[in-house]
Amino acid sequence: MCYSEQMTNITPQKKTVLIIEDERPLVQVIQTKLEKTGFDVVTARTVDQGLQYMEDIGNIDAVWLDHYLLGEKTGLDFVAKMKSAGSKWARIPIFVVSNTASSTNMQSYLRLGVNLYSIKAEHRLDEIANDIKLFLAKPDEK
Amino acid sequence: MLKKTFSTSDDITLKLKILAEEKESTRRKLVITAKRLAVIAREKEITRRKLAVTARELKRLHATLEKKVLERTRDLAQITSKNEAILASIGDGLVVVDKEGKISYINKSFEEMLGWKAHEIIGKSMVEVVPREDIYGTGVSFKERILTQVLAGQKFVADLTNPFYYIRKNKSRFPTSSIVAPVILNKKIVGAVEVFRDITKEKEIDKAKTEFVSLASHQLRTPLSTVNWYSEMLLTGDVGEVTPEQRKYLEEIYNGNQRMVDLVNTLLDVSRIEMGTFVVESKTTNIVKLAQSVIAEQNPQIVEKKIKLLTSFESNVPLIQSDPKLLRMIIQNLLSNAVKYTPEKGCVRISVSLDDKKSVLLKVADNGYGIPKNQQNKIFTKLFRADNVIGKDTEGTGLGLYIAKSIVEQAGGKLWFESVENKSTTFYATLPLRKTK
């Protein structure tokens, strides 16, 4: 909690995006891009680490999520937890950005209520960052 | 008196003389007869001897014949059992049916593969005893059965392209490949022979291969994304300015990588088609709007090559039930091929019209390089590219038309073309208003 207040104090106007992605070079470039787009960024490489940050940091505004992650759990486990009944994070937007383009996966994510599903190899980083920015700028969303 | 006596004695003498002469004559005749009889007897003896010889000869011939018949029978029996052994031992399933489609012979492999014993099914209808299903588990109707078609006079049908399943006695099924041919006697079809094979192994190998492509493609996408996004960041100046010279190099890296991404995506599409995991989401689709958006998307290439594009969209084209994503791929493929394989300042026509009451016709024509006559039969083959364009365009993969044809056919439509090398090519695709199967 103390950590979160500290962050809010430093950059009160910035929104925070949690990136959950296991591929190190990708984490770095996504982080840079999102920071350039005007976000604060927290990064995690496993589902459990991601959930831990959700709990500890407290003011996460959006999640950038990959499907395959380090460890057994996939992005689907993360979304299921976030959207589970009574979850305090149910309204936090989730953007799945993955190369695992199987239709079944995509359907599962959309059914669980993620806000966007993009295939990494088919989009510019610009586009996805911009989509997130536009989404978070809408007054009724978050 | 004396005179009378004299005369009586003369009479007797005369009579005796006559009598003697008659006897002599009779004796002579007897001698002649005896001689004749002797001749006849001799002749008969000769005949008898001849008959005896003939009888002996006949007896000998009879014995030989009997021996030959025995030998021949033995040979025939041997040939028959050898033939039977050959038929029985054929590793593929074999069934012979009469002209009504009733089973008259099955071999051992048939019994083993399908679980039926010959005595249980001889005389029964093959089509009824062994039901057949397509890949989705839909039964193949009596009319559609190759066997029925062959018996009805179709010359020869090899069934290697369409995978199907045969149902065993215990209701389990296995993938099969079969060849059916008519049995013709005196120019009439008297039945048919079907040879079939269990292709479970082949299918497994094929699936493993396709899964490998799918997995490899997913894995390939990760480093491609890295190259993509890092070069993008450099190009957008997010990590500092680059010189114009460096920008040129970075653009080449970016574009080359983009082509690799497209190629991997195409490979993924192929593997989805082959694994049957292409999810089709049919919805009400406006094909004209879709065509217009594809044209807009490809406009840069059309403009760059100064190609004259003519469009004709009939107003009576109804909305169709189709997967817009897949339909888009068909139009994209046909249009980009027309643009790619037509020289600068050429002409491309695209039209959409109502074909009949049940389908829509998409036509994409160009006056470009065309497809050489001797390669036209291969143009839909996976990875095939015609000789005349290999040198002209380096970007083709030989997968576009294969994918397009698979999608069109999956949707219940047809895709075909007409082409004259160095003159023109027209591709036609019919798409049902709603899918029939």
CA distances from B79 to B20, B76, B205 (A): 86, 5, 40
B218 with A99: Cβ contact below 8 A: yes
Contact yes or no for A33 and B277 at CB 8 A: no
Rounded CA gap, B435 and B323, in Å? 11
**Structure-model confidence comparison of residues B158 and B200, the more confident one:** B200
Q: Is B14 exposed, middle or buried (0-12, 13-18, 19+ CB in 10 A)?
A: exposed
Residue A88 distance to chain B (closest CA, Å)? 33
B429 CB contacts (<8 Å, ≥6 apart)?
Answer: B330, B334, B361, B362, B363, B404, B408, B413, B414, B415
Q: Which of B77-91, B353-367, B384-398 is predicted with the least confidence, judged by mean pLDDT?
A: B384-398
Q: What is the pLDDT of residue A140?
A: 55
Choose the mutation target among A22, A24, A69, A99 for the interface with B, i.e. most B CBs under 10 Å.
A99
In this prediction, residue B161 carries a pLDDT of 53
pLDDT value, residue B4: 59
Domain B203-275 = CATH 2.60.40: no
CB contact under 8 A, A26 and B225: yes
CB B137 within 8 A of CB B117: no
In percent, the amount of chain B with pLDDT more than 70 equals 95
The answer to whether the beta carbons of residues B164 and B172 sit under 8 Å apart is no
pLDDT, residue B263, reads: 84
Higher confidence at residue B436 or residue B317?
B317
Find out whether A92 and A79 touch, Cβ atoms under 8 Å: no
Q: What count of other Cβ atoms lies within 10 Å of the Cβ of residue B325?
A: 15
Tell me the per-residue pLDDT of B130-147, one tens digit each, with 9 for 90 and over. 998 877 777 777 777 878
Rounded to whole angstroms, the Cα distance separating B172 from B116 reads 13
User: What pLDDT does residue B421 have?
Assistant: 92
Residues of chain A with pLDDT under 70: 1-12, 101-103, 139-142
ipTM above 0.90, yes or no: no
* CATH no. for B93-198: 3.30.450.20
Cβ of A121 within 8 Å of Cβ of B268? The answer is no
pLDDT at residue B394 tops 70: no
SS3 A137: helix
- Pick among A120, A123, A127 to test the B interface (most B CBs inside 10 A): A120
CB B416 within 8 A of CB B428: yes
According to the model, what pLDDT value does residue B387 have?
Answer: 85
Using a CB-CB distance cutoff of 8 angstroms, which residues of chain B are in contact with residue A118? none
Quickly state the pLDDT bin for B5 (edges 50, 70, 90).
low
B236 vs A23, A101, A126: nearest CB: A126
Q: How far is B102 from chain A (nearest CA, A)?
A: 46
Q: What is the DSSP letter of B428?
A: E
d(CA B370, CA B418): 9
CATH 3.20.20.370 assigned to B283-432: no
Least confident of B119-128, B305-314, B346-355, B405-414: B405-414
Among candidates A29, A100, A104 on the partner chain, residue whose Cβ is nearest the Cβ of B233? A29
- Map tokens 């486990």 to a residue: A77
Residues of chain A contacting B, Cβ within 8 Å = 23, 25-26, 29-30, 32-33, 36, 99-104, 119-122, 124-126
Which tens digit of pLDDT belongs to each residue from B295-312?
998 999 999 999 999 999
The answer, yes or no, to whether residue B318 has pLDDT greater than 70, is: yes
With tokens 């027209």, the residue in question is: B426
The token pair that represents B78 in the structure block? 């041997």
Q: What pLDDT was estimated at residue A7?
A: 47
For A33, which of B224, B238, B268 is closest by C-beta distance? B238
Does B230 sit within 8 Å of A29, measured CB to CB? yes
Nearest to B233 among A23, A32, A101 (CB): A32
Q: Which residue has the tokens 């199967």?
A: B437
Q: How far is residue B187's CA from residue A119's CA, in Å, rounded to a whole number?
A: 62
Distance from CA of B280 to the nearest CA of A (A): 10
Pick the residue of A35, A74, A103 with the most B CBs within 10 A to test the interface with B by mutation: A103
- The better pLDDT of the pair B284, B159 is held by B284
Helix (H, G, I), strand (E, B) or coil at B174: strand
CB contact under 8 A, B222 and A23: yes
B430 or A58, higher pLDDT: B430
Reduced to 3 states (helix: H, G, I; strand: E, B; else coil), residue B305 is: coil
State how far the Cα of B411 lies from the Cα of B273, in Å rounded to an integer: 12
Which of residues B98 and B282 earns the better pLDDT score? B98
- The conformation of residue B398, written as its DSSP 8-state character, comes to S
* A:B CB pairs within 8 Å: 54
Supply the mean pLDDT for chain B: 87
- CATH number of the domain at A2-137, please? 3.40.50.2300
Closest-CA distance of chain A to residue B272, Å = 9
Interval B24-46 mean pLDDT: 94
Q: Say how many C-beta atoms besides its own lie within 10 A of residue A91's C-beta.
A: 11
Q: Cβ contacts of residue A19 below 8 Å, gap of 6+?
A: A27, A30, A31, A34, A41, A42, A43, A44, A63, A64
Tokens 């190899």 — which residue?
A121
Strand locations in B331-435, DSSP E? 347-354, 359-366, 414-420, 424-432
Question: B41-66, pLDDT tens digit by residue?
Answer: 999 999 999 999 999 999 999 999 99
> How many Cα neighbours within 13 Å face the side chain of B203?
17
Q: Count other Cβ atoms within 10 Å, centred on residue B287.
A: 22
> Residue B364 and residue B54: Cα distance in Å, rounded?
91
- Place B121 in a pLDDT band, splitting at 50, 70 and 90: very high
Give the distance from residue B434's alpha carbon to the nearest chain A alpha carbon, in angstroms.
23
Residues of chain B with Cβ-Cβ distance to A36 below 8 Å are 238
For residue B392, pLDDT over 90 is answered with no
pLDDT at B124 over 90: yes
User: Order of strands across the sheet with B93-98?
Assistant: B103-106, B93-98, B188-198, B173-185, B157-167, B132-134
Q: What is the DSSP secondary-structure string of B263-308? A: HHHHHHHHHHHHHT------EEE-HHHHHHHHHHHHHHHHHHTT-E
Report CB contact under 8 Å: B268, A101. yes
| Residues of chain B contacting residue A23, judged by C-beta atoms under 8 Å apart | 222, 226
Tell me which amino acid residue A21 is. Answer: E
**Region B361-378: what's the mean pLDDT?**
93
Q: Which pair of structure tokens corresponds to residue B92?
A: 């593929």
Q: Return the amino acid letter for B292.
A: Q
Q: Which helix or strand (DSSP H or E) is residue A130 part of?
A: helix A125-137
- What are B237-279's pLDDT values in tens digits? 988 999 999 999 999 999 899 888 888 888 888 877 877 767 6
Tokens representing B379 are 């143009």
Query: DSSP label at B124?
Result: S
Query: Do residue A33 and residue B239 have CB atoms under 8 angstroms apart?
Result: no
Q: B431, B162, B428: which is closest to B323 by C-alpha?
A: B431
CA–CA min distance A131, chain B (Å): 16
- Given an 8 Å threshold on Cβ–Cβ distance, is B233 in contact with A33? yes
Give the pLDDT confidence score for residue A4 in this predicted structure. Answer: 44
pLDDT of residue A139: 64
**So what's the pLDDT on residue B393?**
64
**CA B144 to mean position of chain CA atoms:** 14
> How far does A38 lie from chain B, in Å, by closest CA?
12
B185-198 residue pLDDT tens: 888 888 889 999 89
Q: Where are the alpha helices (DSSP H) in B90-199?
A: 108-114, 118-121, 126-129, 146-151
Write out the residues of chain B at the interface with chain A, using a CB-CB cutoff of 8 A: 218, 221-222, 224-226, 228-230, 232-233, 236, 238-239, 261, 264-265, 268, 277, 279
CB within 8 Å: A121 and B279: no
User: Does the structure show a pLDDT above 50 at B437?
Assistant: no
SS3 B309: strand
> Which amino acid, residue B214?
S
Q: How far apart are CA B273 and CA B388, in angstroms?
A: 28
Other Cβ atoms closer than 10 A to B376: 16
